Chains A and B, each alone.
Chain A
Amino acid sequence: MTLTLDSLRISRGGQPMVALDTTIAAGEVLTIMGPSGCGKSTALAALAGALPPGFKMSGRIYLNGRDMTDLPTHARRMGLLFQDDVLFPHLSVAGNLGFGLPRGVPSRDRQIAQALDAAGLDGMGARDPATLSGGQKARVALMRTLLSAPQALLLDEPFSKLDANLRDQIRDFTFAQARALPVILVTHDLEDARAAGGRIISVTGEPLH
């Protein structure tokens, strides 16, 4: 699996912001670093198919060779994680996990149970997500995304709200779970970037560090 950004350019009011030209292989983590407001989150949103109004994009996005550029978000098969877990508050933990699972998948319950198990949340499927700890929530959010069988993973500062010891743990968990996918991590934290272990670039594509 590969994610290719072909001359991806994003500008706002004629002002160029993002310029990316790269291919990310399965199991590779590309880290985009920069201060807040530099456009790194906008770049992720564009990849997910949710470019905010006021921005302009050119270039193409290929996933496994398929052109995703004009597809709506739900058809792109790109998983997205925010710094907040954004769990659906009206659904149980299992309900959240099931939401991501494509329709018609056999043995849904078993898959959900396995995901819970993998996240160390065995037997907590019926819980209200609001009652989970921060680390638990983050793991549920990740497992939910993975259950939707994405072809690529987009991470928008997913660790920045976690406290230090939890952070390492969740980071390792995330990268371990996502090892078969091309991953893009957006962060302003150098430690996250280093832990990702891949290339580190700016929004305009220059290699950093």
Chain B
Amino acid sequence: MRFLTCVAACALGGALPAVAQTPNPADWPAVLEQARGQTVYWHAWGGDPRINAFIAQVGEVLSERHDVTLEHVRLADTADAVTRVVSERAAGRDTGGAVDAIWINGANFASMKDQGLLFGPFAYDLPNWPLVDTDANPAVEIDFTLPVEGYGSPWAMFQMVFEYDSRAVPEPPRSLDALRAWIAENPGRFTYPQPPDFLGTSFLKQALYGVLDDPSVLLGPTDAVDYDTVTAPLWAFLDEITPNLWRSGRAYPANEPALGQLLADAEVDIGFSFNPGRASAAIADGELPDTIRTMVFDDGTLANSSYLSIPYNAANKAGALVLANLILDPQIQALAQDPAVLGFQTVLGMDRLAPEDRARFGALELGIATLAPDAMGTGLLEPHPSWMTRVAEDWTARYGTAE
């Protein structure tokens, strides 16, 4: 094995084009110079045509302004890109890696940062960093309780919103208890993606916030508390609602888009998403009926950020840095927040922008189903990543295997 690795490393040395030296983010003009002519491979989830179109637009600007070509590598699962970097390290390819940038957060980020698979810190050196609203949104520097420490550049904020059909649900449930009661009265009309899916497990964490007297334990690791006692109310809650879920809990949708499709087919009346603008955009595209509205719990819903990270062995780090800076550009951020494009929430602080940039955001209209920023309620902090893993595992043991 070691022999092979050695042979391969020698072969690699000969086969690869000269690898550019590692850029220094603090010397931005040098970064721009080095990036010129590079092609950046951005590994990002490719399941949503709106996001794909947005990334293509970013690519056009990137090429016009900085002579950097953007290739969107469309992933079915972000973990594929993590896998890629891991296999590259296994093969001894510490330079010239295939992944230049990843759209990442949560457990994927924690795992890569833990293993030293990320390049950085770089975020604080980006010229657009001062525009990021670190005061109002501390979550841009803490990903699932894990300090980001400049190993990822935040570029969009997400908050869980419930999407409901106002024709069937004139008075949507605005708390976990109200939801529990609504499910009992409307059997078969609610479900959540099957954990360990990201959105499905997020629902479990949202439920934990609702059933715990002291949710602050969620911000520490699971082994710091009496896990079984703490989570008992969650399992009681799930035991209660499961018989009245869609398909009586005998099957679950696979992921967020699958849940959205159930809502579109009127199989369920209430769904949820991490993108507050999704419903409006889907209505505009004719994929959801125009009777869909969104709402949040009165006590708040989970909120998190998406990051752009650069693997330690990326071949085109300078280009990736230029890309990271470009998506923090007010023009691009306003584009992302446009409900007709994506409806993502910006990470920039309005008070930090030049007046003409602020006007770009002011000119955006909310979509028909999108809540105004002041109606979004409290954003709840994401629990420590260990909760995600542990709760998903337990869910699988209790509900994920028949009997």
The short answer to whether A and B are in direct contact, CB under 8 Å, is no
- The chain A residues found within 8 Å of chain B, CB to CB, are none
- The chain B residues found within 8 Å of chain A, CB to CB, are none
